[in-house]
Amino acid sequence: MKNKVQGMSTYKDKIDLTRVPTHIAIIMDGNGRWAKERGFDRIWGHQQGVVSVREITEAAAEINIKYLTLYAFSTENWERPQSEVDALMELLIDTIESETPSLNKNNVRLMAIGDLSRLPKKATEKLQHSLDQTSKNSGLSLILALSYSSRWEITNALKNICKDVSTGKYGIDEINDELVREHLTTKSIPDPDLLIRTSGELRISNFLLWQIAYTELYFTSTHWPAFRKESFYEAVYDFQQRERRYGK
């Protein structure tokens, strides 16, 4: 009876398991509003958002998604009030520490993209430990975007490509799609098939701009702390109803 509500079928039952998206990326938005609407502090919303992270990671593994990228903290988020930034960093440290055993148990490999050098020392240490501990896992790859922004990533790629050209590693005419891709932080990860944004905002907020060229977009008004397994399966089901043409 696990996925049945009084005999009603759920979105999970409707999903065609033979053609699930390989990579799903999520802009986890709305923690603050969700908490405020309930008369609580924004931080409480972030704490409840961690429960959704756990649920969605599990949900993705259950239907054999290979890559799940979660936008957890953007470059611009450093400009939030210091108290909120501190609370988010603390939550990050605690969550990585407490969740690593269950990542291992579920064969999940943790990965991270973004300007990790800006994270507090303790966060980098815990993160590195968890990355090492889970690096051999062969199930779902869970990619956390931390201190990430697409413009930061593309600017960095440009700098590195310019360096290579100036040292003669390759010429300007050899720069193509593939070479640019190899200079992004996502170089070992296929482009997302589906991008989900919660909380009703219809924007991308500096996330994976290069990588989402042909990604299917899904927006829902549900706030992140309320976005649980069934909402996730609904998004996957919606994706499966679409026809991808890639301009052809």
Q: Which residues bind ligand IPE (CB under 6 A)?
A: 27-33, 71-74, 77, 88, 199, 201, 203, 205, 224
Closest CA to 227 of 73, 78, 55: 55
Closest CA to 18 of 67, 64, 70, 73: 64
Residue 116, number of CB atoms within 10 A of its CB: 17
Closest distance between ligand IPE and the C-beta of residue 177, in Å?
Answer: 26
Nearer to ligand IPE, 31 or 134 (CB): 31
According to CB under 5 A, which residues from 18 to 77 bind Mg ion?
Answer: 29
CB 196 within 8 A of CB 220: yes
CB 85 within 8 A of CB 119: no
Q: Strand order of the sheet with strand 23-27?
A: 109-113, 141-148, 67-74, 23-27, 194-197, 216-219
Q: Which two tokens stand for residue 106?
A: 């579920």
How many residues lie near Mg ion (CB under 5 A)? Answer: 1
Nearer to ligand IPE, 81 or 247 (CB): 81
Closest distance between ligand IPE and the C-beta of residue 71, in Å?
Answer: 4
Contacts of 247 (CB under 8 A, 6+ apart): 214
Contacts of 41 (CB under 8 A, 6+ apart): 35
CB 94 within 8 A of CB 130: no
Q: Is 29 a catalytic residue?
A: yes
Closest distance between Mg ion and the C-beta of residue 208, in Å?
Answer: 17
Residue 27 binds which entry of ligand IPE, Mg ion, none, CB below 5-8 Å type-dependent: ligand IPE
Q: Which of 41, 64, 77, 115 is catalytic?
A: 77
Closest distance between Mg ion and the C-beta of residue 121, in Å?
Answer: 27
Residue 234 in contact with Mg ion, rule: CB under 5 A: no
Nearer to Mg ion, 88 or 111 (CB): 88
Q: Is 31 a catalytic residue?
A: no
Q: Which of 13, 16, 29, 206 is catalytic?
A: 29
Nearer to ligand IPE, 27 or 68 (CB): 27
Residues near Mg ion (CB under 5 A):
29
Catalytic residues: 29, 77
